Structures are given as C-alpha cells and as structure tokens.
Chains A and B, each alone.
Chain A
Amino acid sequence: MSWTKKVLRINLTAGTCSPEPLNMEWVEQFLGQRGLATKYLTEEVPPTTDALSPENTMYMITGPLTGTMASTAGRYSVVTKSPLTGAVACSNSGGFFGNEMKCAGWDMVILEGKSPSPVYISINDDKAEILPADEIWGKSVWEADEWLHTKHQDPQLRVAAIGVSGEKGVLYSAIMNDLHRAAGRSGVGTVMGSKNVKAVVIRGSKGVDVQDPKAFFDATNAGKKILAENPVTGEGLPALGTQVLMNVINEMGAMPTNNWKDSVFEGASKISGEAMLEPRDSDGKANLTRNGACFACTIACQRVSTIDPEHFSVQNRDDLHPSYHANSGGLEYEAAWALGSDTGVDDIDALTYAQFVCNEQGLDPISLGSTIAAAMEMYEEGFITKEDTDGIELNFGNAEAMIKCTELVALGEGFGAELGQGSSRFCAKHGHPELSMTVRGQEFPAYDPRGIQGMGLGFATSNRGACHLRGYTVASEVLGIPIKTDPLETEGKAGLQIAFQNATAAFDSAGICIFTSFAWSLEDVAPQLNAACEGEWTPERLGEIGERIWNLERLYNDAAGQGASADKLPPRLTEEAVKTGPAAGKVNGLATMLPEYYAERGWSPEGDVTADTKARLGL
C-alpha cells in the first residue's frame, strides 16, 4: 500500500500513454521519489546523453508517503539529466501536485522522446492524453494555469507548467506547480521545454490508502507534535519562512555579498524576514500578508506577500499580470540572497518583484541572481561593457538593473538569453571563468563556506552541483542540530557531511519535505513509513538506502564526466580570505576535508567508488 505500483509512461515521439507496473524490486533498494527515479534514469538514459535531446527522459515521481496525512507529505521530484550541469538533476517540489498524482493512481509519470509540436499532458485518474498546447506556448506559467483551468472547467485541477524561459532554453528554468511552488534547480524546466511539453495537469479522485491506519495515525501524530514543539519548524519557519535565516547567517559573517567578494551584507536587515513584517508608508501594510502551507504541511513556511503599490517595479504597470498588484508567493531566503545581497540590492520590493517574475516564468532565482552578480563584477571590472549588456548599467546595488536582467532572462531575450546560460558559461565566454561561483556549473546557495566550512565540502561533492539541499550541515554548524559543531573548523566535517547527505537522500525519497529534518531524524520517519507501507523500514535501512542513492548518483556522474574531477571550489573560496566579520581571515579548507571524505565514503583516494563499496551497497 501507499505505493500505487503503477507508472504512466508517455512517449512524446510516438504520442502514446502506457501504464506499466512500478519496479518493486527497485523500491526495496531505493524506496521512492529521488532514489527510485534515479535508478530508472541510470537504467534508461546513458550518462553521455545530450540533456536537451529526445534521448533524455524526465521522471516526475512521488514517494511512498506522498498523498497521506503525514506532515509535509505532498512532495514530488523531477529527475532527469541536467542541461546546466551535465550531471544528474533532481528537483523537489511541494504544493499540491504530487499528492494529486498519487490520488490519480500513479506513483510516477515518465516523459520520454520529444513531441513534434507543443503539447500538454492531461491526466484524469486512469485516463491520460497528449493534447495540443499551441494556445499557451509563449505564455507565462500563470497565464497557462488560468487557461488550463478554464479549458478543463475544473477549479480543482492541479497544474505543473513551464514559463517562457523554459521554452527558450534558459538553462536554469524551473517547473512550477500550483502557481508558486517550484521544482527549481538544475534546469528541469528546460528539459520539459526541450520536449515541447508546456504543462502536466492532473486530477485524481482515487485517494491514498495506508497499510496500518491505527499505527499510521499514532506515528504521524507523534511526528506532528515533534514539529510543533521544535523552535525551527514550530516557530521560526511559520513566522518568518526561510527568510528566518537572513539576519542569522549575515551576523555570523557567512552572507555572500557582491558575487562573494564580501561575506557580510550591510543591507541584510532591510531584506530580512523581520523586514517583511514591517508596515510600509504607502498603504500601511506589511510585505507579508500571511503564511501558507503545502499539502499536509503542519509547518507552513510559505510566504503570501504583496509589493508596495508605489514601488517603481509595479507602479503604473498595466502590462503586468494582476497578481503583481495583489498577493502572490513571496520572498524566500535563497531568492532574497541571490537577487539581493549577491547583487548588492537591498530593496525588498524589488526582490519581491523579481521573486514573482521567477514564479511566473519558471526560473531558479539562485542561478539567476548569481549569474547577474557575476555579470555585475565583470561589468565593474571592465570585462564586459554596455555593448554586451543591452545598455544596462550593471553595477552592484542597482535594483533597476537587477530587475531588467530578470525580465530579460524570463523571456530569454537579448542579453537575457546570454545570462540564461548560467554564470559558468557566461564567465567562461567573457574570459574570466574564475568569477563564476559554481560547482559542476550550478550556482552556489546562500552560505559562504569560508564561514561555514562543512558547506564547502557539501558544495564540492554535491551530486547535482552546488546545493544546500544535499547535505545541510548549516543545521549543525549554525543551529546546533542535532549537535553544535564549530563552523570555522574542518575537523569532523567529512563525517558530518556524509551523515547529512545520506539521511537527506532518504528523506527526499520518502515523499516528505527536507525541512522536517530540522526536527525529525530517520528514527521519526521510519515508524511513519512502516505504518504506511508494506515491508520493514528501519532507520538503519533508510540510512543505507540514502548511502546507496548517493553512490548511484555518483556513479552516474562519473560516467557523465562530472565525478571526482568536478569536486572543487572556485579559487575565491579556497584562496581569497574573508575580509570582514566573524569569519575574517578564513578560506575554505576543502583540500583538508576532501581526502577524509573520500576515505569515509569508502572511495579510492582519487574519489572513485570502489568495487568493495559497490558490492556492499548492491550496486
């Protein structure tokens, strides 16, 4: 139970929709969602495949808990080969799309091949169709969402769609579901666009059952209680959202600023979660209207926000979608950092506007903001000029410039098309690859690893390129979860990263949100899985599944040319010391941590997965 044991395989080239059984042998090894879809990818898509060719395949997949009453159990993942990194891509999203897929009776929807013309996929319980999307090709996610709801005359339809950026080949395009939720990173939206698929819409009426209802309610209620009583999931995230971190990380001197030249941002408090609560002069309202939740989530970190009606981004702008003048999905920490402190912009309304654009057109704000920041440094250093930037004065701190770039990338036009290739390609093209703050071609998230050492190792070894959601040792190094470690020390960080990476892979495969891991360990997840599913799921087994997933991803990346040779950080982080703040004088000690990491992973000193490790994990 809990798995529907059914997969919907859609071949866009042939125009067919075929049900097939879920491979339950692989479920035993990989649980679901991230792990299971990665197994499908490694079996079906050769690692050297061109990510934007019809030979790449995209997997939209739920976990065993998705669609149940377990807290946060609405998650789904999109797994494919990334066009941004060339490595495995796995982007996780909340909202209400994953549970609807499960409710319709499918664990996974596979999109393979390429449609000869723009289409969308309609799934209504057992019935699946490939339908023409000519009328919404070229429209934004929000416009497509409205059109699809009207066309199907169904207000309860759940929609996942790409924006114009995904159609135009911007390499970090997201798949947006339920208007504001994103499978955001590594260009999964770009892959969907390359297949000529605008949207997947689902309506399910079958429901989800669990194995042992009594045990399930006991286990999930216990889990909810732990979340409610935890200071991060019970107080910080509902009150301030992910933006609870802005002031915290800045105060410890790990807030990357101006393309990582600095690590303390003067304007941090002006763009923080606390600032979102302050009433503004124009209409007396705060940026934040209220918090909202994804399906089944008892944390509710989502922001519902408005832009100041007198802000230049929206004033007298009749051309904008009405949501820009009303409430919409508000500012998240990673967007506030990348579009804000990394570009030197401390204007909270400009950032909220840019966040809305990212939602409307399906963009990863981390890669977007970081690429703009890199371009700003290139501009200030004279490596590019106004002739390259469509006339934009691309200085740090220029909110208008940040907004203009965001709008151009969203539509994949002019200078925006170039920025849409990501900072790695952009900086290389203009002769300064060292200014790209990326690993495996993917932009860093908002934690300077010179001030939080373990995160440097995490970024360098992350299988999907630089990422905070693969091994969030910030929890330990900053928040003391589960134990406090010194953020400025490298000792013990290899083992810490590995523990976080393995556990995260298991969380990501279960159908729940990684934010639960602030409060839950695998000891808390296991009873929920045990009650929901057949089979026996102990914390130890889940940990081993996590390790197996990590190694499987690594093996795929090795064969794709994104293995050990890509385990490195830009010279700025390992050679240029932090100038000011609590981390002043520090560089990241990757060279110390990496050999320890390889050894503790059971890999060779060169970073290759050994035959012994493969055999131990059954790979």
Chain B
Amino acid sequence: MQMSLVIDANKCTACLQCEMACSYEGEGVFNPTKSRIKIFPFHEEGIFVPYTCTQCDEAWCMHACPVEAIVLNKTTGAKEIVNDLCVGCKVCTIACPFGTVNYNADSGKVIKCDLCGGDPECAKACPTDAITYQDANWTGYDKMKDYAAKAMPAK
C-alpha cells in the first residue's frame, strides 16, 4: 500500500520537532536549516503551517533534471535524489512549483523529502499528530469522518 504524508495545520504548535527529526535523519545533526520539512508561522493569523514535498506523480523536478538524478522509489512513491548523479545545477529547484526542493550549499547537491524510505521521521516526532503517514488513497479519511459525524442524524 502506498502511503502519504498528511498535514493538518490546525494541530501544529510550531515546536519544530519535525524539522529536527528530519535534519538528523538526513544530515546527522539537529539543524532546522537542513530540514526538508518547514513550519511556517503566520503570527497575525494565528496559525502554524507545516509544508514539505507532496511527491507529485508527474514530478516537475524529476522531469526537469538533465542528468536523471531524481528517481522514483516504486515502493514508497517518493522522488529521491541520487547524490552520486546530482550535479547541483538547481534546475529542479526552479521547476518545482512548491519550492520543496532546495539546494544545500554544504554538499553542493539538492535536498528534498524522500519519505525516509517509507518511515518518515517527521511524522514520528510530531507530538500532536499534525503530521501523519497514511494510506495514500485515503488521505481524506479523517476529514470525511469529522464531517460525517456532523451529518449524523440526531438520536
């Protein structure tokens, strides 16, 4: 079963546990600037929004890469960077409409979410279930259930 990251901004407190888990998994250091997932606080609106790669099927980044350094992981559906092939040209960072592929100046390669091989650390670290890893075919399940509860006929 293919799985997908599901984000519910209404549950996010902006604690950045996800950013640290991500940076540690990817770079071996607690460093939010090296995270593939970012939390965006909108102070005046009073909301915190986690944002990361949605693993598009027809991924702009993958199509744009001139050296085929972005490949599909058929098990997880993730589009993964092959570091040995990446030349750091950054065309994928331009192609991605969402900004979720970014250049890492320390390594000279790009970085993006790879779903941690199917066990995403951000979801495990999230203390409020704002980030969960669910059946890709049923990412709307919880929302549907909430609305179903509202539509439930009174006893």
Residues of A in contact with B (beta carbons under 8 Å apart): 67-69, 96, 99, 103, 156, 179, 204-210, 213, 224, 228, 289-298, 300, 302, 304-306, 322-323, 326-328
A205 touches B33 (CB 8 A): yes
B33 touches A290 (CB 8 A): no
Q: Given the known inter-chain contacts A67-B30, A205-B31, please indicate yes or no for A228 contacting B46, CB distance below 8 A.
A: no
How many whole Å from B121's CB to the nearest CB in chain A? 10
A297 touches B20 (CB 8 A): no
A298 touches B15 (CB 8 A): yes
Residues of A within 8 A of B13 (CB): 290-293, 297, 300, 302
How many whole Å from B143's CB to the nearest CB in chain A? 18
Q: Is the interface of A mostly helix, strand, loop or mixed?
A: loop
Q: How many A-B residue pairs have CB under 8 A?
A: 88
Q: Given the known inter-chain contacts A209-B29, A209-B30, A293-B15, please indicate yes or no for A304 contacting B21, CB distance below 8 A.
A: no
B17 interface contact, C-beta 8 A: yes
Name the one of B17, B32, B41, B44 contacting A323, with C-beta atoms under 8 angstroms. Answer: B44
Residues of B within 8 A of A292 (CB): 13-14, 41, 48
A294 touches B15 (CB 8 A): yes
Name the one of B17, B46, B128 contacting A304, with C-beta atoms under 8 angstroms. Answer: B46
CB contact list, B10-34 vs A, under 8 A: 10, 13-17, 20-21, 23-24, 27-34
B145 interface contact, C-beta 8 A: no
Can you name the residue of chain A whose Cβ is closest to the Cβ of B40? A155
Residues of A within 8 A of B45 (CB): 326-327
How many whole Å from A91's CB to the nearest CB in chain B? 22
**CB-based closest 3 A-B pairs:** A207-B31, A327-B46, A207-B29
How many whole Å from B33's CB to the nearest CB in chain A? 5
How far, in whole Å, are A266 and B27 apart by their CA atoms in the complex?
56
How many whole Å from A307's CB to the nearest CB in chain B? 12
B125 interface contact, C-beta 8 A: yes
How far, in whole Å, are A572 and B109 apart by their CA atoms in the complex?
68
11 extra interchain contacts, Cβ-Cβ under 8 A, other than A207-B34, A209-B29? A69-B17, A69-B20, A69-B24, A207-B30, A289-B46, A293-B16, A294-B15, A296-B16, A298-B17, A326-B43, A326-B46
Q: Given the known inter-chain contacts A295-B15, A328-B43, please indicate yes or no for A69 contacting B29, CB distance below 8 A.
A: no
Residues of A within 8 A of B30 (CB): 67-69, 207-210
How many whole Å from B124's CB to the nearest CB in chain A? 9
Q: Please, what's the 1-or-0 string for B47-72, where 1 marks a CB less than 8 Å from any CB in chain A? A: 11000000000000000000000000
A327 touches B14 (CB 8 A): no
A103 touches B32 (CB 8 A): yes
B117 interface contact, C-beta 8 A: no
B127 interface contact, C-beta 8 A: yes
Q: Given the known inter-chain contacts A67-B30, A207-B34, please indicate yes or no for A298 contacting B127, CB distance below 8 A.
A: yes
Most interface-central of B13, B14, B20 (chain A CB within 10 A): B13
Residues of B within 8 A of A297 (CB): 13, 15
How far, in whole Å, are A454 and B24 apart by their CA atoms in the complex?
44
How many whole Å from A359's CB to the nearest CB in chain B? 11
A206 touches B31 (CB 8 A): yes
A103 touches B17 (CB 8 A): no
Can you name the residue of chain A whose Cβ is closest to the Cβ of B16? A295
Residues of B within 8 A of A328 (CB): 43-44
Q: Given the known inter-chain contacts A289-B46, A290-B46, A327-B45, please indicate yes or no for A300 contacting B15, CB distance below 8 A.
A: yes
How far, in whole Å, are A268 and B53 apart by their CA atoms in the complex?
47
A306 touches B46 (CB 8 A): yes
How far, in whole Å, are A224 and B126 apart by their CA atoms in the complex?
11
Q: Given the known inter-chain contacts A179-B43, A304-B46, A327-B46, please indicate yes or no for A296 contacting B31, CB distance below 8 A.
A: no
How far, in whole Å, are A289 and B43 apart by their CA atoms in the complex?
11
How many whole Å from A435's CB to the nearest CB in chain B? 39
How far, in whole Å, are A300 and B20 apart by their CA atoms in the complex?
17
A208 touches B31 (CB 8 A): yes
How far, in whole Å, are A564 and B15 apart by their CA atoms in the complex?
42
Residues of B within 8 A of A294 (CB): 15
How far, in whole Å, are A286 and B135 apart by their CA atoms in the complex?
35
Most interface-central of A207, A213, A297, A326 (chain B CB within 10 A): A207
CB contact list, B92-133 vs A, under 8 A: 125, 127-128
17 A-B residue pairings within 8 Å (CB atoms)? A69-B125, A99-B32, A103-B32, A207-B23, A207-B30, A207-B34, A208-B29, A224-B127, A289-B47, A290-B47, A292-B13, A292-B14, A292-B41, A292-B48, A293-B16, A326-B46, A328-B43
Residues of B within 8 A of A96 (CB): 16
Residues of B within 8 A of A293 (CB): 13-16
Q: Given the known inter-chain contacts A67-B30, A207-B27, A297-B15, please indicate yes or no for A326 contacting B127, CB distance below 8 A.
A: no
Can you name the residue of chain B whose Cβ is closest to the Cβ of A298? B127
Most interface-central of B27, B29, B32, B128 (chain A CB within 10 A): B32
How far, in whole Å, are A320 and B136 apart by their CA atoms in the complex?
47
Residues of B within 8 A of A205 (CB): 31, 33-34
Residues of A within 8 A of B33 (CB): 103, 156, 204-205, 207
Residues of B within 8 A of A323 (CB): 43-44
How many whole Å from A321's CB to the nearest CB in chain B? 10
